[in-house]
């Protein structure tokens, strides 16, 4: 009876148990052994650039001249989520703050659409990885 009960207790662990992977949430890395990927295994950098280039459009309501160089920054967390999205660009003291806010909001909304991401790994642990993607818009 004891051996039968023991078999029942260990059987689910062997059939359904998965290797657990530790998480290192102590810092954010720029380069790791296994960079984040899409859940399907596709390279993430090119896919994210493709999404940014496809989705980013200046709104018609801009009053000031469009900005030609924009930097998108975000972190893919150890759980595979996009966190701390930010948009940087050169600003002038020209009364265009409302336009700057709109551009930043558009960029952050695009980055928040990044889903189905697999986090990076370092030393066998899931870790957070920071990305910086520049965008140059040809104004001609």
* pLDDT tens digits, one per residue of 15-33: 334 456 677 777 999 999 9
Domain that holds residue 117: 21-136
pTM of the model: 0.75
In a domain, 97, yes or no: yes
In a domain, 125, yes or no: yes
pLDDT at position 139 is 57
Distances 138 to 21, 53, 68, 94 between C-alpha atoms, Å: 44, 12, 7, 21
CB 139 within 8 A of CB 68: yes
In a domain, 92, yes or no: yes
In a domain, 3, yes or no: no
Please identify every stretch of the chain with a pLDDT value under 50, giving residue numbers as ranges: 1-18
In a domain, 60, yes or no: yes
- Count: domains in the chain: 1
In a domain, 7, yes or no: no
In a domain, 15, yes or no: no
Distances 56 to 36, 90, 97, 131 between C-alpha atoms, Å: 23, 17, 19, 17
* Average pLDDT value for the chain: 80
């Amino acid at each position: 009876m004891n051996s039968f009960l023991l078999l029942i207790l260990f059987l689910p662990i062997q059939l359904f148990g998965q290797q657990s992977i530790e998480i290192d949430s102590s810092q954010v890395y720029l380069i790791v052994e296994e960079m984040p990927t899409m859940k399907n295994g596709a390279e993430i950098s090119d896919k994210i650039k493709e999404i940014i280039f496809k989705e980013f459009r200046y709104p018609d309501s801009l009053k000031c001249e469009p900005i030609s160089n924009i930097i998108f920054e975000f972190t893919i967390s150890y759980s595979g989520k996009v966190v701390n999205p930010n948009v940087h660009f050169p600003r002038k003291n020209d009364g265009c703050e409302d336009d700057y806010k709109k551009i930043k909001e558009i960029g952050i909304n695009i980055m928040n659409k990044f889903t189905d991401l697999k986090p990076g790994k370092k030393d066998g642990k899931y870790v957070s990885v920071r990305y910086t993607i520049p965008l140059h818009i040809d104004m001609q």
